[in-house]
Amino acid sequence: MEIFVYGSGAWGTALAILLAGNGHRVTLWTHDPEKAAAMARTRKNPALAGVPLPEEIAVTGDPAGAEGAELVLFASPSSILRRTAAIAADHVRPGTVAVSATKGIEAGTGMRMSQILAQSLDSRCPVAVLSGPSHAEEVSRHMATGCVAASQDQAVAELVQEVFMNDMFRVYVNRDVVGVELCGAVKNVIAIGCGVVDGLSLGDNAKALYMTRAMAELAVLCQRAGGQRSTCSGLAGMGDMIVTCLSDHSRNRHAGLLIGRGAPVEQALREVGAVVEGYYAAASVKDMAEKLKVELPICRSVYGILYENSDPEKTVAALMTRDRRSEFDWDK
């Protein structure tokens, strides 16, 4: 299959490597022609250090390369996905399968990434989502990984499953696009808070408490937004939350760790040195919760730390002293 990948960051590059290894003809696009030329010449991507770019992957700065593609994969940061999709819209043929590998919620509109693609491509293309616990550093090195391909069209989800799956990259299908995408976005917010817990040296008990109650928040948000609670217990939910909250590869956890240790938010974001998706998602999740009238004390607390200069220690104390309630009184 002819596949065009919009987005040459670590994740887009890792997926390009995966797809090329599956026997597909892959072109990797970057918005910077100079970067494209350097990657084509050196077969290296600074965003994915130590992993050579296979010779069979073409690298380009020309978005028109998508005109012959049967599948286009979008792996840009959430903050620029709309811009990337607008560029792609002039070149993607009607009927081409469009796959979002980007996790986030658009600031201002509250739209999920698949909705942005559908809108930008004028609903001319079937859209699917690829999500789950999948660090680029490990996928690019062919380490065992499991993900979810989600689409409202079962046939499209199964096509994505077939295209991406191999002996070390297992893909399950799911029709709950809303739940899969919300899990992918909210877990980044949760991971920042988990990093704060570690940065404050609160211990394993506190971390287990935090992650479990954060999962409860995610479940009720998914249901209120039209998704399914069961998705939250799968790879897109619990699986992705575990890896993002606990892994040293996680940029979101790293940012929270620095903040918990006393770094100002702006300094922590700079020190991470790459896009911290949870920072942007925190504002979108807050807006969504207010619109849906659902209480999310943990996610709201992470927003307070990131945007309102809330003291991390006092924030944790406030969460610990909330009113008593039943564990499974999910809406509270």
Active centre residues (catalytic): 187
φ/ψ of residue 124, rounded to 5: -85, -10
Q: What is the side-by-side order of every strand in the sheet holding 145-150?
A: 58-60, 25-29, 2-6, 71-74, 97-100, 127-131, 145-150, 169-174
Chain CA centroid to CA 281, Å: 10
Unique residue bearing structure tokens 């799968």: 234
Residues constituting the chain: 332
For residue 182, the SS3 value is helix
Query: Can you tell me the distance from the alpha carbon of 214 to that of 285, in angstroms, rounded to the nearest whole number?
Result: 13
Query: Can you tell me the distance from the alpha carbon of 136 to that of 158, in angstroms, rounded to the nearest whole number?
Result: 23
> Could you please report the per-residue DSSP string of 97-149?
EEEE----B-TTT--BHHHHHHHHTTT-S-EEEEESS--HHHHTTT--EEEEE
